[in-house]
């Protein structure tokens, strides 16, 4: 148990972080088919919101909980701006959105480099996340528990919103049959915008979590974008349940590999595993046709 428990718990926390990074993509990529390479920079924006909030309210006990909704709104508006200015002209050209958003990502990185100190900024975690809890003899850092709780809350909120709210119904209707939805009186353009707002906003929330784990700087978003897309594809595009399982599986597998081998090899092995899985099951864990959304 001693050998298995730490990597299992650490892996779950890493999976939760991947899940937070990928959750927004299940909407913007999964539901809307937009390949948004600037998603990582929305995560960065969320992390910088955490920093700025902390500058205004120095107590990290208060500033971090407050930063979560703020980061959601700021990243959401960045997403909305991107949708209105660029993406809405490219809905039928996914490769063009890929190229355009890579450019947007670079612009956002350079903007962060100009605005904030080049070396990055400190984000202090709340004092109630100091310390560890004892799980069968392993001192599990509380911060990891926080990441898992935050991811679970976001998944639950998103799933409930899609399933039970009237807006969730409109999103699902638009995705399943845009023309029919439109003739039934659904304003599909505003559905697109709100979906993009929420998807990007979730990246902002992920950014706050990321700011407590690693550095907050202009380059931080880059490390999340590829794993996030990988998780969404492996989970089955547009499937929240699939994304949850895929994120946890990748996180736990990567951590076990890192535990047994080395940090560099772990990444390679985890990605190889996903590629093999997609060879066997190209549609991912779940598919749209067999199950409803969420």
Partner 1 sequence: MLNTSRRRVKTLLATGAIAATAALVLSGCGSRADDATAAAAGSSCIDTSGDTIKLGFLNSLTGGMAISEKTVSNVLHMAADEINADGGILGKQIEYIQEDGATDWPTFAEKTEKLLTQDCVAAIFGGWTSSSRKAVKPVVEELNGLFFYPVQYEGLEASPNIYYTGATTNQQIIPAMDFLAAEGVKTLFLAGSDYVFPRTANAIIKLYAAELGIEIVGEEYVPLDKDDWTTQVAKIAAAKPDFVFNTINGSSNVGFIKAYYDAGLTPETTPIISVSIAEEEAPAMGHEVTGNYASWNYFQSLDTPDNPKFIEDWKAYPGSSGVTSDPMEAAYISLYLYKALVEKAGSFEVDAVNAAAAEGGITFDAPEGTVTLNGDNHHISKPGHIGRINADNQFDIVWESDGFIEPDPFLDGYDWFPADVRDALVASAG
Q: Among residue numbers 162 through 201, which ones bind partner 1 (CB under 8 A)?
A: none
Nearest to 212 by CA among 71, 18, 50: 50
The CA angle 31-284-243, to the nearest 5 degrees, is 60
Q: Is 63 in the site for partner 1 (CB under 8 A)?
A: no
Q: Is 267 in the site for partner 1 (CB under 8 A)?
A: yes
- Half-sphere exposure (CA, 13 Å, Cβ side) for 252? 12
**Binding characters for partner 1, 107-136, by CB under 8 A (x = yes):** ---x--x---xxxxxxxxx-----xx----
Judged by CB under 8 A, the stretch of 34-42, 193-201, 205-213, 275-283 that binds partner 1 is 205-213
Judged by CB under 8 A, the stretch of 65-73, 90-98, 138-146, 197-205 that binds partner 1 is 138-146
Beta carbon of residue 63, minimum distance to partner 1 (angstroms, whole number): 13
Whole-angstrom distance, CA of residue 257 vs CA of residue 251: 10
Whole-angstrom distance, CA of residue 122 vs CA of residue 271: 31
Nearest to 45 by CA among 67, 22, 13, 17: 67
Judged by CB under 8 A, the stretch of 140-148, 168-176, 235-243, 272-280 that binds partner 1 is 140-148
CB-nearer residue toward partner 1: 143 or 193: 143
Q: Among residue numbers 13 through 32, which ones bind partner 1 (CB under 8 A)?
A: 13-14, 17
CB-nearer residue toward partner 1: 144 or 195: 144
Beta carbon of residue 205, minimum distance to partner 1 (angstroms, whole number): 18
Whole-angstrom distance, CA of residue 129 vs CA of residue 269: 32
Do the beta carbons of residue 289 and residue 236 sit within 8 Å? no
Judged by CB under 8 A, the stretch of 64-72, 241-249, 253-261, 283-291 that binds partner 1 is 253-261
Label each residue of 65-118 as H, E or C: HHHHHHHHHHHHHHHHHHHHHCHHHCCCCHHHHHHHHHHHHHHHHHHHHHHCCC
CB-nearer residue toward partner 1: 95 or 118: 118
Nearest to 47 by CA among 279, 224, 176, 283: 224
CB-nearer residue toward partner 1: 188 or 267: 267
Q: List b or e across 232-250, with b for residues whose CB sees 16 or more CB atoms inside 10 angstroms.
A: bbbbbbbbbbbbbbbbbbb
Q: Is 283 in the site for partner 1 (CB under 8 A)?
A: no
Q: Which of 28, 195, 200, 216 binds partner 1 (CB under 8 A)?
A: 216
Tokens 């200015």 — which residue?
Answer: 85
| Residue numbers at the binding site for partner 1 (CB under 8 A) | 6-7, 10, 13-14, 17, 110, 113, 117-125, 131-132, 139, 141-144, 210, 212-220, 222-223, 255, 258-259, 262-264, 266-267
């Amino acid at each position: 148990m001693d050998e298995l428990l730490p990597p299992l718990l650490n892996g779950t926390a890493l999976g939760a972080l991947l899940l937070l990074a990928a959750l927004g993509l299940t909407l913007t990529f999964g539901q809307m088919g937009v390949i948004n390479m600037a998603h990582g920079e929305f995560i960065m924006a969320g992390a910088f919101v955490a920093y700025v909030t902390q500058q205004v309210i120095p107590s990290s006990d208060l500033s971090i909980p407050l930063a979560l909704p703020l980061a959601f709104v700021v990243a959401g508006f960045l997403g909305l701006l991107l949708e209105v200015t660029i993406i809405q002209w490219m809905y039928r050209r996914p490769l063009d959105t890929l190229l355009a958003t890579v450019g947007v990502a670079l612009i956002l990185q350079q903007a962060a480099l100009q605005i904030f100190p080049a070396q990055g900024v400190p984000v202090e975690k709340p004092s109630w996340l100091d310390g560890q809890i004892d799980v069968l003899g392993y001192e599990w850092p509380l911060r990891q528990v926080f990441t898992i709780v935050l991811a679970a809350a976001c998944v639950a909120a998103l799933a409930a919103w899609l399933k039970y709210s009237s807006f969730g119904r409109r999103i699902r209707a638009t995705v399943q049959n845009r023309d029919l939805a439109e003739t039934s009186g659904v304003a599909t353009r505003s559905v697109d915008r709100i979906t993009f707002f929420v998807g990007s906003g979730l990246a902002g929330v992920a950014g706050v979590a990321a700011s407590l784990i690693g550095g907050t700087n202009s380059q931080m978003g880059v490390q999340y974008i590829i794993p996030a897309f990988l998780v969404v594809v492996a989970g089955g595009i547009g499937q929240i349940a699939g994304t949850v399982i895929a994120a946890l599986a990748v996180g736990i597998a990567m951590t076990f590999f890192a535990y047994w081998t080395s940090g560099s090899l772990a990444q390679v092995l985890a990605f190889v595993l996903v590629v093999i899985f997609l060879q066997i099951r190209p549609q991912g864990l779940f598919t749209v046709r067999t199950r409803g959304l969420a």
